[in-house]
Structure 1
Amino acid sequence: MITTSSAVPHDTPRSRHMVICGDDGLARRLAVELDAVCGETVTVVLPSRHHEHGGEIDALHQDPSSGIELFVAARPDEQALRAAGVEQAVALALTYGDDQTNMMAALLARSINPSVRLVIRMYHRERGRHLEQLLDRAVLARRNRPNASPHDAPPFDLPLDTSTTVLSDADTAVPELVAAAALGHGHTLQVAGKVFRGVVRPAGTPPHTADLATLAVFSGADRHDPRSEDSAETPGDGGTQLLPDTVTAYNSQFTHGRLMLEEVTADRTLEAPSASRGIGGWLRERLTHLPWKVFVSREMTSVFGVLAAVVALLSLATYAAVDGIPLWKAVYLPLLDIFTMGDPATGEPRARKFLQLIAGFTGIAILPLVVAATINATGAFRAASINHLPADGLRDHIVLVGLGKVGTRVLVRLRSAHHRVVAVERDPQARGVAVARELGVPLILEDATGPRALELARIGQSASLLVLTSDDSANLDIVMAAREANSDVRAVMRLYDDDFAATVSLTLRASYPDAVTRSRSVSALASPAFAAAMMGRHVVGVMPVERGVLLFTTVDVAGHPALEGFSVHEAFARNEWRVLAVGAAVSGTPVASPSDTLGGQDLSDRSGFDWRPPHGRVLRAGDRVVLATTRRGLDILTRGAPTAPDAA
């Protein structure tokens, strides 16, 4: 939930117009962020006031202190975009859950307003990259015209890399969800060609040589102290302090946990296991994991044991009653009789005829039991074959519930880091089911709110539980059931409503004081990055810290009142931003995103960032800096407000 402490007063002039198309949780949070925190005029295009989160957005519109306007249109077609004011808009965010709808709307918007800043939500990474390149060509063509207006690019905007930004709410939220579930593993991110990791240092831990900066000071002795659940962007709020000053960071190392930014010498991200195992490997894996043990169940063993005993008795009697009969035939004939396969003993001795009648009546009595047991075992085999049950000895694994858009990305990230995972999903057609099978992850295709699913996933022996379904109530039910089975399991659940999430966390913490319980909202984790992109900042990394977030962005120093002319030491705003690196701003050269390369060369290498700049280094025009900022700090930097830096 956006706090009102940093909200923009209602009487603040609102000169820029921004448009949001969508009606889900991300659209709502983004509208609140831009309106209340950034002070922008926002128009939200809704398919309906009653579907999804349309009612909540409509309530924001009805609030007298809100600057949010509404426009209802079934589709984001040209007429709807023009009516919403895209022609005059500075930025347009497309947050529909369907990639194709967002693509079509983005192409229309670029034709209506070639200079509008586009922020597009897309799940498909490769498609998003191609779309970003396509749409930016229009901006390049416009700016390269001889009569291009100098006002095409707002102050402090980077010339190329902020025109079109394709983001994924799933990718933005996944690192925090993975870090929250995988105890002891910090969040890794790439900024300007280098790899960094957020590492939690408990109280009393000495500094490491690889530490670059203190990103946060927790209110407790370590991150998992219950008092450190809520992040505070201002001192005195009683929670985790983001971007503290040097004195606070130094003094707190003896009594409080700290989040440090650590430089990693090489990218240690591990790739997901290869799916190209060949037909033979795939067949061996499937045969190995088939539930053959259903055919040796107690029911099957009892029925076929009785049948074997009857055959043995009749065979012995036949062998004793019929002179000269070989042993094999003494066994063969009772079997024919039991299964009524036709070999009447008309010319045989009376004892043989008598035994044949007994075998026939025995067959009539026992065959239905054999058929029933076989059918039951076959059905159980078929049902169990759909599931890929974990090994009996599996322990200290992560149980992941929900294989939708977010759950699939979380699963891949966990497996790429070689975590042991058991997945639970009730929909066989869910996005991540095929991915789980390809990765060889144990899979339970059952409703996790039922009594069996968590038991099959061995929740009692697991270390962590990550619940990512889209139903808040179901997620809470699953966590409470898991707590009954394993009171020590580390539980992380996806909850949209912040007030509900806070209440749940407090209640579970009080009931299970020794267990770790965390709640996370995907839209809350993603909205700061979307808002920053709409405001014209190139966010190259996002690091959630408890219920707050740190953004890593690049800014040109030239003309910036809070940076130019100040030293690195002076250009620090406590709890708002910190300069991490200084490099040269190359005119017309975009700052690379974490994975962008051109001709095999990382574009960011051209700027030569110094990640340990001297505190006395004065920032001048021609410099470009990498900053770690809070949401409020990014808002100040974006608006270019003259703010006196608070030196560390």
Structure 2
Amino acid sequence: MVICGDDGLARRLAVELDAVCGETVTVVLPSRHDEHGSEIDTLHRDPRSPVELLIAARPDEQTLRAAGVDRAAALALAYGDDQTNMMAALLARSLNPSIRLVIRMYNRERGRHLEQLLDRAVLARRDRSDMGAGRPRDALPLDTSTTVLSDADTAVPELVAAAALGPGHTLQVAGKVFRGVVRPAGTPPHASDLATLAIFSGTDRDDPRSEDSAETPGEDGTRLLPDTVASYHSQFTHGRLMLEEVTHDHVLETPADSRTVGGWLRDRFTHLPWKVFVSREMMSVFGVLAAVVTLLSLATYCTVDDIPLWKAVYLPLLDIFTMGDPATDESRARKVLQLIAGFTGLAILPLVVAATLNATVAFRTASISHPPTDGFSDHIVLVGLGKVGTRVLVRLRSTQHRIVVVERDPGARGVAVARELGVPLIPEDATDPRVLDLARVRQSASMLVLTSDDSANLDIVMAAREVNPGVRAVMRLYDDDFAATVSLTLRASYPDALTRSRSVSALASPAFAAAMMGRHVLGVMPVERGVLLFTVVDVAGHPALEGFSIHQAFARNEWRVLAVGAAGSAAVRFSSSDTLGGLHLPNRPDFDWRPSHGRVLRAGDRVVLATTRQGLDILMRGAMPAPGRT
């Protein structure tokens, strides 16, 4: 496999493929002397690691050939620039038409078009080959072609889950959301639990994916995909990793009246700072204007014969705003008053315009600020509305969580989104303790700090901890060593509170690694020193699945059938708008996530499996299961 990139995502993806997935990797980086290149260079020099390093400024044709793209199984293009990734993808497709391409794209629409373009090229080439051989055209196989992903999109579900639900790896399949949840020993089964994924060595475990998890396996070790008997007996003595379906019961619903039309209008308009239009400056300017109009109206009424009162007011207004006809045929007094009104208008109109503009600017600036009301509680405080924070906001709002947003830059991309969604917004610096009070951190349930500054994120979380020691805090930290130190220190200082540090590139790398391994891989879940892969497989042609019941098809420590559905005519596809583990199924088949153990798997079925790496290798080779299967 080949990885081309210029930032932390390429480095983390190389480590993921090397350490977790056991793949041979060639990494193309612009330098070996920066922090990313130096770590890959260390892996390259390790005789136990199959990682190769190639230094090249750009992924041109010569570089791709030197990296072995023409004979590689997969290529990940993880540069920070969309155009660079697009050009490299087109070159790679011409060098190796059958290579799996995994492309990092920020622009979702552009990524969708690129994915369709490259896949059409594969279909056209294979169609010509099949017609020449007399074979019918079929859909793309699961393991080929193009996958476009966004590191921000893939990280959003983990960040949302960490803040809204607590620790646990999230997975999305066919419109449903699942997560791996650790149940301590003695915890009774939950109605939302679907299957036991692992039995831990001790009585209790932290989130196995978190950066601060201790690696202290007991003498029995962690058992992946145990059988039903072992899982039942271990629930009283060992911690377990359970697959849980996330339902509406897990989310915090907004008050009923806020979802009505009246509640929406109230949220949108009642907080607006209308008082800026009756400020002292505005009242002074328009007071002077009113006084001038009154004086000129009285003078017109007294000096012009047979003029009604309304016209005595109307004419000076026309003169002041230079909208009246010249009084050439009027009396001398009328001509003088018109000149006075014109000069007065020249003097006062700039003041009126300036005061109105100032009030409008003040209104727009103040309308951004929408602090929560006094009764606001059990909400999520989101700090930072950049690329990641904006998508987290949209995801949280779609699940009806109550949110308060803090963003110091009024021009940030997420400010307009927050205003459109009617979310309480505080345009201030969150490092200011006063701002945390405005966000009602003391009454909040969770806090997400997603600015790009590690130090500022830590400052904000520590300040929030002082105000609310029990708040669930999730912060974005890039540096691994710094994140581990911070997590351990905060956990020691606040043992009863949940603190997690997350890196966008670290959260995104499993999805990119899964896509490089093939479209049948939905997600990767590290569990202590092991790893679980979530895959979708068509039963037809698999001697380990076809013709067996779900109970018989279970292989201890190798794979477990989680759900059964109908095999669609179209291939399983990743999409640039999908999240980590997301699936886009064109025919949207329904999966039965609680199938009967006696159900027999037929050739027309498609199953979702949790597998170990060894189990996936057996299934993909189409071999019979190893001896000792349950």
Q: Aligned residue for 2:76?
A: 93
Matches of 1:271 and 1:135, distance apart in 2: 42
Matches of 1:577 and 1:477, distance apart in 2: 44
Change (3 A) 1:577 1:271: farther
157, 174, 180: which one aligns with 2:162: 180
Q: Does 1:526 align with 2:514?
A: no
Q: Aligned residue for 2:454?
A: 472
Q: Provide the secondary structure at the position in 1 that maps to 2:49.
A: coil
Matches of 1:48 and 1:528, distance apart in 2: 24
**Post-superposition shift, 1:439?**
1.7
Change (3 A) 1:264 1:283: closer
Q: Is the 8 A contact 2:198 2:240 kept in 1?
A: yes
Q: In the alignment, residue 157 of structure 2 is paired with which amino acid?
A: P
69, 87, 91: which one aligns with 1:108: 91
What are the within-5 Å matches in structure 2 for residues 441-520 of structure 1? Answer: 441-520=423-502
What are the within-5 Å matches in structure 2 for residues 603-618 of structure 1? Answer: 604=589, 611-613=593-595, 615=597
Matches of 2:363 and 2:618, distance apart in 1: 62
Q: Provide the secondary structure at the position in 2 that maps to 1:215.
A: strand
Q: Provide the secondary structure at the position in 2 that maps to 1:144.
A: helix
Q: In the alignment, residue 407 of structure 1 is paired with which amino acid?
A: G
CA RMSD of aligned residues (A): 4.8
**Post-superposition shift, 1:118?**
0.4
Q: Does 1:134 align with 2:117?
A: yes
**Post-superposition shift, 1:645?**
6.6
Q: Is the 8 A contact 2:276 2:362 kept in 1?
A: no
Change (3 A) 1:56 1:430: farther
Q: Aligned residue for 2:67?
A: 84
What are the within-5 Å matches in structure 2 for residues 274-423 of structure 1? Answer: 285=268, 288-290=271-273, 386-423=368-405
Q: Aligned residue for 2:608?
A: 626
Q: Is the 8 A contact 2:514 2:523 kept in 1?
A: no
**Post-superposition shift, 1:134?**
1.7
Task: State TM-score, norm by structure 1.
Answer: 0.68
Q: Provide the secondary structure at the position in 1 that maps to 2:70.
A: coil
**Post-superposition shift, 1:92?**
0.6
Matches of 2:230 and 2:210, distance apart in 1: 16
Matches of 1:460 and 1:429, distance apart in 2: 28
Change (3 A) 1:522 1:248: farther
Q: Is the 8 A contact 1:201 1:222 kept in 2?
A: yes
Q: Does 1:596 align with 2:596?
A: no
Q: Aligned residue for 1:332?
A: none
**Which deviates more, 413-422 or 438-447?**
438-447
Task: State TM-score, norm by structure 2.
Answer: 0.70
- Listed one character per residue, the Cα deviations across residues 584-642 of structure 1 (whole Å, up to 9, x for unaligned) are 656x64135556354xx42x35xxx5544554667687764311235676577668898
Q: Provide the secondary structure at the position in 2 that maps to 1:590.
A: coil
Q: Aligned residue for 1:170?
A: 152
Q: Aligned residue for 1:71?
A: 54
- Listed one character per residue, the Cα deviations across residues 206-255 of structure 1 (whole Å, up to 9, x for unaligned) are 54666432235577888879999877999748998654432332124446
Matches of 1:80 and 1:524, distance apart in 2: 26
**Post-superposition shift, 1:548?**
8.7
Change (3 A) 1:422 1:549: farther
Q: In the alignment, residue 86 of structure 1 is paired with which amino acid?
A: V
Q: In the alignment, residue 590 of structure 1 is paired with which amino acid?
A: A
**Post-superposition shift, 1:566?**
6.7
Q: Aligned residue for 1:580?
A: 562
3, 9, 18: which one aligns with 1:35: 18
**Which deviates more, 623-632 or 529-538?**
623-632
Over the matched positions of the two proteins, sequence identity in percent amounts to 79
Matches of 2:214 and 2:595, distance apart in 1: 28
**Which deviates more, 244-253 or 505-514?**
244-253
Q: Provide the secondary structure at the position in 1 that maps to 2:370.
A: coil
Q: Is the 8 A contact 2:565 2:605 kept in 1?
A: yes
Which runs of no fewer than 5 residues in structure 2 stay unpaired? 134-138, 285-357, 575-581
Q: Is the 8 A contact 1:568 1:615 kept in 2?
A: yes
- Listed one character per residue, the Cα deviations across residues 258-298 of structure 1 (whole Å, up to 9, x for unaligned) are 5544568999999999xxx99xx9999367243959999xx
Matches of 2:626 and 2:448, distance apart in 1: 43
**Post-superposition shift, 1:117?**
0.6
Q: In the alignment, residue 625 of structure 1 is paired with which amino acid?
A: V
**Which deviates more, 516-525 or 256-265?**
256-265
Matches of 2:381 and 2:172, distance apart in 1: 28
**Post-superposition shift, 1:113?**
1.9
Q: Provide the secondary structure at the position in 2 that maps to 1:530.
A: helix
Matches of 1:566 and 1:537, distance apart in 2: 25
Q: Provide the secondary structure at the position in 1 that maps to 2:31.
A: coil
**Which deviates more, 73-82 or 213-222?**
213-222
Q: Is the 8 A contact 1:464 1:491 kept in 2?
A: yes
103, 108, 112: which one aligns with 1:125: 108
Alignment: residue pair count: 536
Matches of 2:22 and 2:168, distance apart in 1: 34
Q: In the alignment, residue 99 of structure 2 is paired with which amino acid?
A: V
Matches of 1:149 and 1:271, distance apart in 2: 59
**Post-superposition shift, 1:180?**
1.5
Q: Aligned residue for 1:23?
A: 6
Q: Aligned residue for 2:536?
A: 554
Q: Aligned residue for 1:327?
A: none
- Listed one character per residue, the Cα deviations across residues 298-333 of structure 1 (whole Å, up to 9, x for unaligned) are xx9xxx9xxxxxxxxxxxxxxxxxxxxxxxxxxxxx
Q: Is the 8 A contact 1:553 1:627 kept in 2?
A: yes
What are the within-5 Å matches in structure 2 for residues 187-198 of structure 1? Answer: 190-192=172-174
Change (3 A) 1:47 1:218: same
Matches of 1:220 and 1:228, distance apart in 2: 17
Matches of 1:261 and 1:408, distance apart in 2: 28
Matches of 2:64 and 2:451, distance apart in 1: 33
Q: Provide the secondary structure at the position in 2 that maps to 1:64.
A: coil
**Which deviates more, 173-182 or 66-75?**
66-75
